[in-house]
Amino acid sequence: MTTVVWFRRDLRTTDNPNLTAAAARGEVVACYVLDPAQVAAEGPTSTGWLAANLRALNASLDGRLCVRVGAPQEVIPALAAEVGAAVVQAASECEAPAALRDSVVRDALARRGVAWREVGSPYAVTPGKVTTRDGSGFKVFSAFAKSWQAHGWPDPAPSPASLSLIPVASDASAWRKLDKAITMCPIALPPAGEEAARQLWQKFARKRLDDYAVMRDRPDSSGTTWLSPYLRLGVIHPRTLLADLVGHSGAGVDRFIVELAWREFYADVAWRNPSSLEADLNPLPITYDEPGEQFTAWCEGRTGYPLVDAGQRQLLATGWMHNRVRMISASFLTKDLHVWWKHGADFFARHLLDSDAASNVHGWQWVAGTGTDAAPYFRIFNPVAQAERFDPDGDYVRKWVPELTHLRGGTVHRPWEAADGYSRGYPQRIVDHETERLEALARYQASKAPAAPPSLA
């Protein structure tokens, strides 16, 4: 029996239950669908990273990854007919737009008598499976995390006993388009593929895991895994990481598992509340400002607040930003510039290598105070105090903001207090944090005020 294995967010051959199950049934056609609509929506950074990982997957599959260009609902049924497949199999997609697309593909296949199967998902526990006693979803992270751990997850999938891959030609233009996407990528891409992800993880586990609980908050150190871009495309699976941690203990291990749980929590929340990917889960009737020149300054790292600017410039230069700095930068946009978080989330999505709808949107809503289990609205990050706490010697700022390299140690966080703070062209602050903090609180209070009685006039 021939099975078409449609790769999406599982670009790996190791610990891939989808591939293993298909190989056990017979011959396999491995394919990826390059959807022009998706490419246009995601932008050049994501597409370059995708392309590099498809190249790596193709190498792992001995050059037998068939890449077709077009809309999946047309490409997949046509490919199944071409190779005489009885089954098309894929790992479940949990975000609403992808799940909807899959239901269209499934119906198109059914009309041709081809079965559709889903095996595995990008998560240790598929969204929807961790529930409260009454069967509903968790709204509070700590309760979810406890229940998620108690639920548990399967062991990594074994490698296929034998894998018989049928060579099927890719579209003539497919690899050309992908190679162009790599060349046109606006950033230098990190090493792609499952071997690179594994090496990154093993090095982290050997050298950094023990200190993770403390160092994960320090943007001036390499205290985190940098695995999010690989997790995003399923180049490595969280189940693989969790399995490697069995038998290890300590604050670092515990904290790392908690962070993986955040990813699963947000996927679960997004799965249960699909509209939360586009709008506030718990809206606050706050008045926001339209994005204008200050928003552009934020995007480009020219706010005059060194840590915010360093983070934005790290994002533009590498496609990644440290988690602590993401929170501070998001707080600055929503509470100091009073811009709705969605504008920031869309900007992040276009520039992040790890751009993941659920984690991005709910990370933003957490900061904005409108998500599930969010920080209260009146928690407003002070970008200077945070910088002095988490980048005490200023190394992170100096790395990304060349106009400030002449300022020593922590003085880099307050160029306005240094005689030569602006001598190399660093911009003045675009707003005064204290003034805008009070403004944000005033808007929050106003949003809670009872509506004015209707005028009698």
Decide if residue 348 touches ligand FAD (CB under 6 A): yes
Is 47 or 224 the residue whose CB approaches ligand FAD more closely?
224
Sole binder of ligand FAD in the list 14, 92, 360, 370 (CB under 6 A): 360
Is 197 or 407 the residue whose CB approaches ligand FAD more closely?
197
Decide if residue 347 touches ligand FAD (CB under 6 A): no
Nearest approach in angstroms of CB 447 to ligand FAD is: 21
Sole binder of ligand FAD in the list 9, 101, 106, 216 (CB under 6 A): 216
Nearest approach in angstroms of CB 201 to ligand FAD is: 9
Nearest approach in angstroms of CB 155 to ligand FAD is: 20
Query: What is the 3 state secondary structure string of the chain?
Result: CCEEEECCCCCCCCCCHHHHHHHHHCCEEEEEEECHHHHHHHCHHHHHHHHHHHHHHHHHCCCCEEEEECCHHHHHHHHHHHHCCCEEEECCCCCHHHHHHHHHHHHHHHHCCCEEEECCCCCCCCCCCCCCCCCCCCCCHHHHHHHHHHHCCCCCCCCCCCCCECCCCCCCCHHHHHHHHHHHCCCCCCCCCHHHHHHHHHHHHHHCHHHHHHHCCCCCCCCCCCCHHHHHCCCCCHHHHHHHCCCCCCHHHHHHHHHHHHHHHHHHHHHHCHHHHCCCCCCCCCCCECCCHHHHHHHHCCCCCHHHHHHHHHHHHHCCCCHHHHHHHHHHHHHHCCECHHHHHHHHHHHCCCCCHHHHHHHHHHHHCCCCCCCCCCCCCCHHHHHHHHCCCCHHHHHHCHHHCCCCHHHHHCHHHCCCCCCCCCCCCCCCHHHHHHHHHHHHHHHHCCCCCCCCC
Sole binder of ligand FAD in the list 15, 102, 220, 354 (CB under 6 A): 354
Sole binder of ligand FAD in the list 49, 148, 266, 305 (CB under 6 A): 266
Decide if residue 226 touches ligand FAD (CB under 6 A): yes
Sole binder of ligand FAD in the list 263, 335, 338, 342 (CB under 6 A): 263
Decide if residue 310 touches ligand FAD (CB under 6 A): no
Decide if residue 356 touches ligand FAD (CB under 6 A): yes
35: tokens are 């959807």
Find, among 60, 53, 86, 80, the residue nearest to 68 by Cα.
80
Nearest approach in angstroms of CB 376 to ligand FAD is: 16
Sole binder of ligand FAD in the list 46, 170, 224, 386 (CB under 6 A): 224
Decide if residue 315 touches ligand FAD (CB under 6 A): no
Sole binder of ligand FAD in the list 94, 352, 374, 431 (CB under 6 A): 352
Stretch that binds ligand FAD, among 80-88, 100-108, 223-231, 292-300 (CB under 6 A): 223-231
Decide if residue 372 touches ligand FAD (CB under 6 A): no
Sole binder of ligand FAD in the list 363, 369, 371, 415 (CB under 6 A): 363
Q: With contacts defined by CB under 6 A, how many residues of the chain interact with ligand FAD?
A: 27
Is 22 or 354 the residue whose CB approaches ligand FAD more closely?
354
Is 22 or 368 the residue whose CB approaches ligand FAD more closely?
368
Nearest approach in angstroms of CB 288 to ligand FAD is: 16
Find, among 218, 221, 215, 225, the residue nearest to 190 by Cα.
225
Sole binder of ligand FAD in the list 65, 260, 299, 404 (CB under 6 A): 260
CA distances from 94 to 8, 85, 100, 102, 284 (A): 12, 25, 10, 10, 27
Sole binder of ligand FAD in the list 42, 118, 217, 259 (CB under 6 A): 259
Decide if residue 221 touches ligand FAD (CB under 6 A): no
Decide if residue 267 touches ligand FAD (CB under 6 A): no
Q: Which long-range contacts (CB under 8 A, 24 or more apart) does 413-419 make?
A: 413/306, 413/307, 413/384, 413/387, 413/388, 414/384, 415/306
Decide if residue 359 touches ligand FAD (CB under 6 A): yes
φ, ψ of residue 204 to 5 degrees: the values are -60, -45
Nearest approach in angstroms of CB 405 to ligand FAD is: 25
Q: How far apart are CA 278 and CA 274, in angstroms?
A: 8
Nearest approach in angstroms of CB 326 to ligand FAD is: 4
Stretch that binds ligand FAD, among 103-111, 132-140, 182-190, 225-233 (CB under 6 A): 225-233
Sole binder of ligand FAD in the list 327, 339, 387, 412 (CB under 6 A): 327
288: tokens are 């926001």
User: Which chain residues interact with ligand FAD by CB under 6 A?
Assistant: 216, 224-228, 231-232, 259-260, 262-263, 266, 323, 326-327, 330, 348, 352, 354-356, 359-360, 363-364, 367
